């Protein structure tokens, strides 16, 4: 840095006068910039926090409406809107009807939709075509009244799924890009989620439809066991609930029960529907069905958890069952439970060669097979629910 040379006491250097306001104004500008950066940073931080919180609540399989409501509840305080709404376009899951979710002051759906479209038109004229965020701070709603409005489309791959709309009354501050950006980020997230959710529901419906087709094919093959799969499924669930199964286990045995005899599709009709006693050879054919069922389902990953019950529901506690002759606790628990439900339904159902047994006889067979043919605690559980036995003995679920 250059230092001016001194020329003696009498010739003090003529330094330029200090202008007090210049550094101060620079500082003021810097302080102003820092304030702006700090508030922009705070807004971004708020946006990221909100997106993080929302991402935690986006669960596939949950109703879209509850996710939309959670999102609105979280977003409204950040936008200070008097009304914050999401209008969803009709889709396959809504019976062709549009829907609206709103937090804050209630508004009419048609009124809000009309405002949103007008705001988008005005915004398009002003911005020359961009419709990602429409902010109109004086949108007339009456001859002397106006509202402030932000409209953000909820879209995904050029498909409009709905709109997110924030409204402030005229006495509230104007909307700015902070609110618009926040709504845009959340609406993009919601758009992705709604599309994923729809695809998830479609796959789920297809999966359930496939299961139902398999069961219908089996029911059509053997009229006498029609409804058996559904009843075994329901009764297994009743037993599992009392044997402290959790939600996951219950849904597993529900599906396992539905498909436990699916292997009978591969058994000869003449054998499957034969009235009267089966020969040893014919019975050997019937005994193939747990393995056939296992083979049919094993290639589908979504069925992997029900394979043990499908394969082993004819094992006997003493090891004399089929197909693998497993005994005691080597028999998978789901199969132990299903074996009891299966036997109960078989005994109480009519067959071509006999009528269903009365409940007293069924109970006495279970008592004598407790701990030899079936797991003792499962039999005890069945015998401990007389109302359920009464109901299923009379085939209520078949009506
Ligand atoms: Fe079976
Ligand atoms: Fe069965």
pLDDT along the chain (399 residues), means of 10: 39 50 76 83 74 70 79 89 94 80 94 93 73 88 89 88 94 91 89 86 86 87 83 97 96 95 92 86 95 94 95 98 97 98 94 83 97 98 96 65
Q: How far, in Å, is the centroid of ligand 2 from the Cα of 258?
A: 9
Q: How far, in Å, is the centroid of ligand 2 from the Cα of 323?
A: 14
Q: How far, in Å, is the centroid of ligand 1 from the Cα of 331?
A: 15
Q: How far, in Å, is the centroid of ligand 1 from the Cα of 384?
A: 24
**Degrees to nearest 5, angle at CA 82 with 77 and 87:** 90
Looking at all shown ligands, the one closest to residue 236's CA atom is 2
Q: How far, in Å, is the centroid of ligand 1 from the Cα of 221?
A: 15
Q: How far, in Å, is the centroid of ligand 1 from the Cα of 385?
A: 23
Q: How far, in Å, is the centroid of ligand 1 from the Cα of 327?
A: 17
Q: How far, in Å, is the centroid of ligand 2 from the Cα of 50?
A: 51
What is the H or E stretch that residue 197 is in?
Answer: helix 177-221
Q: How far, in Å, is the centroid of ligand 2 from the Cα of 244?
A: 23
Q: 32: which residues sit within 8 A by CB, 6+ positions away?
A: none
Q: How far, in Å, is the centroid of ligand 1 from the Cα of 397?
A: 19
Domains and CATH numbers, the chain: 32-200 (3.30.450.40), 222-398 (1.10.3210.10)
Q: How far, in Å, is the centroid of ligand 2 from the Cα of 261?
A: 5
Q: How far, in Å, is the centroid of ligand 2 from the Cα of 69?
A: 44
Q: How far, in Å, is the centroid of ligand 1 from the Cα of 286?
A: 9
Q: Which of 250, 252, 257, 268 minimizes the C-alpha distance to 227?
A: 257
Q: How far, in Å, is the centroid of ligand 1 from the Cα of 314?
A: 6
Burial of 8 (0-12, 13-18, 19+ CB in 10 A): exposed
CA distance 398 to 140: 62
Looking at all shown ligands, the one closest to residue 309's CA atom is 1
Looking at all shown ligands, the one closest to residue 224's CA atom is 2
pLDDT for position 282: 94
Q: How far, in Å, is the centroid of ligand 1 from the Cα of 289?
A: 7
Looking at all shown ligands, the one closest to residue 264's CA atom is 1
Looking at all shown ligands, the one closest to residue 287's CA atom is 1
Q: Are 115 and 168 in contact (CB under 8 A)?
A: no
pLDDT for position 8: 36
Looking at all shown ligands, the one closest to residue 230's CA atom is 2
Q: How far, in Å, is the centroid of ligand 1 from the Cα of 261?
A: 5
Instruction: Residue 264: count other Cβ atoms within 10 Å of its Cβ.
Output: 23
Tokens of 340: 């009891």
Strands 145-156 and 134-142 come out as: antiparallel
Q: Are 310 and 290 in contact (CB under 8 A)?
A: yes
Residue 306 DSSP label: G
Looking at all shown ligands, the one closest to residue 286's CA atom is 1
List phi, psi (to 5°) of 166.
-115, 140
Q: Are 149 and 111 in contact (CB under 8 A)?
A: no
Instruction: Residue 72: count other Cβ atoms within 10 Å of its Cβ.
Output: 21
Q: Which residues surround ligand 1, an ion (CB under 5 A)?
A: 261
Q: How far, in Å, is the centroid of ligand 1 from the Cα of 339?
A: 8
Q: Are 175 and 94 in contact (CB under 8 A)?
A: no
């Amino acid at each position: 840095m250059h230092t001016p040379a001194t020329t003696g006491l009498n010739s003090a250097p003529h330094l330029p006068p200090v202008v007090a306001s210049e550094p101060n104004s620079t500082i003021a500008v810097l302080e102003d910039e820092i304030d702006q950066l700090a508030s922009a940073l705070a807004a971004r931080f708020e946006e990221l926090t909100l997106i993080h919180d929302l991402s935690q609540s986006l669960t596939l399989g949950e109703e879209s409406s509850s996710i939309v409501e959670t999102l609105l509840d979280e977003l409204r305080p950040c936008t200070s809107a008097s009304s914050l709404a999401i209008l969803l376009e009709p889709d396959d899951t809504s019976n062709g009807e549009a829907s609206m979710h709103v937090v804050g002051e209630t508004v009419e759906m048609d009124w809000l939709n009309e405002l949103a479209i007008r705001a988008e038109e005005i915004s398009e004229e002003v911005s020359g075509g961009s419709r990602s965020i429409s902010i109109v701070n004086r949108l007339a709603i009456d001859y002397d009244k106006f509202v402030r409005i932000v409209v953000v489309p909820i879209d995904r791959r050029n498909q409009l799924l709905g709109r997110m709309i924030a409204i402030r009354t005229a006495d509230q501050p104007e909307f700015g890009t902070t609110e618009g950006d926040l709504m845009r980020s959340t609406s993009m997230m919601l758009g992705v989620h709604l599309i994923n959710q729809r695809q998830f529901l479609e796959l789920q419906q297809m999966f359930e439809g496939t299961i139902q087709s398999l069961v219908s094919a089996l029911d059509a093959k053997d009229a006498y066991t029609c409804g058996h799969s559904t009843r075994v499924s329901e009764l297994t669930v009743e037993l599992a609930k009392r044997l402290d199964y959790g939600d996951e286990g219950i849904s597993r045995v529900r599906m396992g029960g539905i498909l436990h005899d699916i292997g009978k599709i591969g058994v000869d009709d003449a054998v499957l529907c034969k009235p009267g006693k089966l020969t040893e050879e014919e019975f050997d054919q019937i005994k193939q069905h747990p393995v056939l069922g296992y083979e049919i389902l094993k290639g589908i990953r979504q069925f992997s958890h029900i394979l043990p019950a499908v394969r082993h529901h004819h094992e006997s506690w003493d090891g004399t069952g089929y197909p693998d002759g497993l005994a005691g606790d080597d028999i998978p628990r789901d199969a132990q439970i299903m074996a009891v439900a299966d036997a109960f339904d078989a005994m109480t159902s009519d067959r071509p060669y006999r009528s269903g047994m009365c409940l007293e006889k069924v109970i006495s067979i279970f008592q004598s097979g407790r701990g030899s043919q079936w797991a003792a605690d499962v039999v005890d559980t069945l015998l401990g629910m007389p109302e359920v036995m009464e109901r299923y003995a009379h085939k209520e679920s078949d009506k």
